[in-house]
Amino acid sequence: MEMYLIAALGLAGLYMAWNIGANDLANAMGTVVGTGALSLRQVIVLAAIFEFLGAVFFGKRVTTTIAKGIVPIDLVGSIDPNLVVTGMLAAILASGLWVTLATFYNLPVSTSHATVGGVLGFGISVAYLGIIPFSAINWPVMLRIVLSWFISPLMGAGLGFTIFVLIRTLVLHRAEGDVEKYFVPLQVLTACYIAFAHGSNDVASAIGPISAAFTALGIIGEEIPDWIFVLGGLGIVLGLATWGYKVIETIGSKITELTPSRGFSAQFATASVVLLHSYIALPISTTHILVGSVIGVGLARGLSSVDLSVIWKIIFSWVVTVPVAAATSALIFLGLKGVGI
């Protein structure tokens, strides 16, 4: 039974990574495609390179937080390692199913939120069953993560607004002729920057639960091997290539009209905020920050330039992500336990 669970966990991890590429990485690349700076094919090539680099060289901090920072995996694993495997499988399936549904409806939701919700749902389930006390769940870390979800989009909006106002004041209003074309190569550079930042934070959503389960079973040690990050990066790029166009359309054109200078401002702001949170080991949402940055850039042109109906639809999908993923994860875990897995 253990080998079947390991195989199922690996496939579920690839499925979640594919979802991240289809939704979250597509969000990150939506602005550069929306302005016409790069084609979707060019974005896929750049993302493949820099997503891997971000995941492998800067992704371990956030992966550790998701793998062990919320639920006391070592404690649960000491009682029964298979509980960890089943719980992480439930967490990945729950978060993956929610992100698939959101992508189908063109909603840029947070894969980080979905994964955190899935892991929390597993933790609450084992506490409900009396395996661990509720106090064993790391609520202070959970609080830090939730607070960062509120603060980071505001940081993105503020930074995006500031960068674009400075560009408009110092460059656009003073230059003669069309200067937007000069921001196209800058957008290509920030596309690389944002792919690196995304890999450093969001790859943890796919491989964090896998790492926790493999560590509990003794397949890997405390140090997460690079091949797991490569596995996650591969799935993410495949997701962008096969289904990412649906969410790219929402980010790239439906919130506000984007030009190369506006796209550059939003991308640079987003990547900077994401990389900061990767450094402090907090799993935040690239989606939330990018949407905040795009809104900030739009607001620099006035409130009327922002489509509020699209924004409210996106915010609603954000609010329901964690409770839906947590509840679904709990139900899947209890169901698997009920059938003897």
pLDDT in tens, 234-244: 888 888 888 87
Is the pLDDT score of 195 beyond 70?
Answer: yes
Helices (H) and strands (E) in the chain, counts: 15, 0
Is the pLDDT score of 263 beyond 80?
Answer: yes
- Which residues in 71-88 are b (16+ Cβ under 10 Å) and which e? bbbeebbeeebbbbbbbb
Q: Is residue 243 within 8 Å of 22, Cβ to Cβ? A: yes
Is the pLDDT score of 320 beyond 80?
Answer: yes
Measured CA distances, 258 to 37, 76, 172 (Å):
11, 48, 15
What's the rounded Cα separation, in Å, for the pair 274 and 270? Answer: 6
Please count the structural domains in the chain.
1
Tokens 């694993």, residue located: 77
What's the rounded Cα separation, in Å, for the pair 151 and 147? Answer: 6
Q: What percent helix, strand, coil does the chain show, rounded to 5? A: 80, 0, 20
Is the pLDDT score of 95 beyond 70?
Answer: yes
Q: How confident is the model at residue 257 (pLDDT cuts 50, 70, 90)?
A: low
Q: Is residue 93 within 8 Å of 304, Cβ to Cβ? A: no
Q: Quick one: average pLDDT of 202-213?
A: 87
Residue 59, C-beta contacts closer than 8 angstroms, at least 6 positions apart: 199, 200, 201, 203, 204, 229, 278
Tokens 């009396």, residue located: 130
Q: Is residue 96 within 8 Å of 172, Cβ to Cβ? A: no
pLDDT value, residue 255: 59
Q: pTM score, two decimals?
A: 0.83
Tokens 């997460």, residue located: 224
pLDDT value, residue 146: 84
Q: Is residue 54 within 8 Å of 131, Cβ to Cβ? A: no
| 3-state SS, residue 282 | coil
Mean residue pLDDT of the chain comes to 85
- Which residues in 121-137 are b (16+ Cβ under 10 Å) and which e? bbbbbbbeeeebeeeeb
pLDDT value, residue 222: 78
154 or 56, which is more confident?
154
Model confidence over 264-312: pLDDT tens digits?
998 899 999 999 999 988 888 887 888 888 889 888 877 666 677 767 7
The CA-based angle 312-267-117, given to 5 degrees, is: 50
Q: Is residue 256 within 8 Å of 229, Cβ to Cβ? A: no
Percent of the chain with pLDDT over 90: 27
Residue 218 CB neighbour total at 10 angstroms: 9
User: What is the extent of the structural domain holding 224?
Assistant: 2-338
Measured between its terminal Cα atoms, the distance across the chain in Å is 8
Residue 181 CB neighbour total at 10 angstroms: 9
Q: How confident is the model at residue 120 (pLDDT cuts 50, 70, 90)?
A: very high
Is the pLDDT score of 162 beyond 70?
Answer: yes
pLDDT value, residue 23: 76
Model confidence over 11-65: pLDDT tens digits?
898 899 888 888 777 766 777 877 788 887 888 788 778 888 888 888 888 888 8
pLDDT value, residue 9: 86
216 or 119, which is more confident?
119
Q: What torsion, rounded to 10 degrees, do the Cα atoms 128, 71, 323, 98 define?
A: -120
Alpha helices in 168-307 (DSSP H): 183-202, 204-216, 226-243, 245-249, 260-279, 286-299
Model confidence over 283-294: pLDDT tens digits?
888 878 888 888
pLDDT value, residue 58: 84
Q: Is residue 108 within 8 Å of 27, Cβ to Cβ? A: yes
pLDDT value, residue 249: 63
The CA-based angle 296-301-303, given to 5 degrees, is: 75
Measured CA distances, 193 to 87, 189, 237, 267 (Å):
34, 6, 16, 8
